[in-house]
């Protein structure tokens, strides 16, 4: 069963072990552990959804420690659970692309990364209402223009990184005045959304069905219905994500997210399997095999 556990970087090794055991009890066997990639800005690093920068010396060692601990657990628990090691790549501006690629290339243990956008005009758009308002102001005071800028930056990310998975595609709506708005009414925004979806489909990327949106009070997962329907028209695939930031959030609202996918006519969610697991990834990166899991089979764990 596919699942993405987010921000594993923030968990101590004991929590990573607990996470692995928790998922095994849930019957979730393919598991993508994923840390939040750190983005450099003026010789500092910015953590996801945090306006407070921290120096690289404080953060990059934690990233390396996460990878080493995840690899240890990957080998230790391989008979019971299929752990995949990944990170979420923050993309504040195009100049960050080399950093992301360097982090990915630096370790054979890392299987893939997720491409995400959390900042527009270098301002977090999912932190709180006040910070979101600052992003709107930076976009000229227009929320419609902020949406356009968000999807333009996302397009830059897609072209520069070509990620295997696109994180929370429409995160921009979380703090917006009307998260449930029909974005097709904003012609320029909708054109950019369709452009991004088409490019993601062209490069073979998947979108997350990200249940964190439900945990944060939205009515639909990321992406919402209108965008999800357009993605499916393109033959796009979904993988599941809880975007959890701790053990208590693992698989939160998966039942509701699955009901949402069923209402769209989705029959499978997708995950990766590592060829020659767990030996692969010791000196060279493992080959990833795409595997579809019937929604009916996945739901049995969350009834």
pLDDT for 250 equals 77
- φ, ψ for residue 205, nearest 5 deg: -75, 155
Q: Which of 32, 31, 35 is nearest to 45 (CA)?
A: 35
pLDDT for 303 equals 62
Q: Which two tokens stand for residue 256?
A: 């509701």
pLDDT for 2 equals 47
Q: How far apart are the first and last CA of the chain?
A: 14
Domain boundaries, the chain: 4-299
Task: Please state, in angstroms and rounded to a whole number, the distance separating the CA atoms of residues 204 and 169.
Answer: 15
| Per-residue DSSP letter, 55 | -
The model's pTM: 0.86
pLDDT, averaged per 10 consecutive residues of the chain (303 residues), comes to: 45 50 55 56 38 49 86 90 90 91 92 96 96 98 99 98 97 98 98 99 98 96 98 98 76 89 97 93 95 90 69
Q: Which of 226, 159, 153 is nearest to 194 (CA)?
A: 226
- What CATH code would you report for 4-299? 3.20.20.140
Task: Please state, in angstroms and rounded to a whole number, the distance separating the CA atoms of residues 259 and 9.
Answer: 30
pLDDT for 1 equals 43
């Amino acid at each position: 069963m596919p699942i993405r556990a987010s921000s594993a970087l923030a968990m101590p090794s004991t929590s990573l072990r607990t996470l692995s055991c928790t998922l095994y009890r849930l019957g979730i066997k393919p598991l993508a552990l994923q840390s939040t990639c750190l983005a450099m800005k003026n010789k500092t690093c910015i953590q996801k959804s945090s306006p407070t920068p921290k120096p690289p010396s404080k953060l990059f060692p934690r990233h390396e420690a996460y990878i080493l601990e995840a690899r240890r657990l990957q080998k230790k628990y391989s008979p019971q659970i299929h752990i995949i090691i990944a990170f979420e790549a923050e993309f504040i501006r195009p100049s960050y692309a080399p950093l992301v690629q360097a982090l990915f290339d630096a370790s054979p243990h890392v299987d893939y990364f997720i491409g995400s956008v959390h900042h527009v005009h270098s301002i977090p758009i999912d932190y709180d209402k006040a910070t979101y308002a600052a992003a709107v102001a930076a976009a000229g005071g227009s929320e419609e223009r902020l949406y356009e800028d968000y999807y333009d930056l996302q397009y830059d990310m897609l072209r520069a990184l070509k990620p295997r998975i696109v994180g929370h595609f429409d995160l921009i709506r979380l703090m917006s005045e009307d998260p449930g708005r029909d974005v097709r009414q904003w012609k320029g925004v909708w054109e950019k959304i369709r452009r991004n979806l088409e490019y993601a489909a062209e490069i073979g990327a998947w979108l997350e069905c990200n249940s964190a949106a439900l945990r944060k009070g939205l009515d639909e997962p990321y992406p919402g219905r209108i965008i999800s329907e357009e993605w499916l028209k393109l033959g796009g695939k979904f993988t599941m994500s809880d975007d959890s930031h701790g053990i208590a959030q693992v698989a939160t609202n998966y039942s509701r997210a699955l009901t949402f996918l069923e209402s769209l006519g989705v029959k499978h969610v997708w995950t990766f399997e590592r060829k020659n697991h767990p030996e692969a990834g010791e000196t060279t990166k493992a080959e990833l095999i795409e595997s579809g899991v019937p929604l009916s089979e996945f739901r049995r764990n969350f009834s």
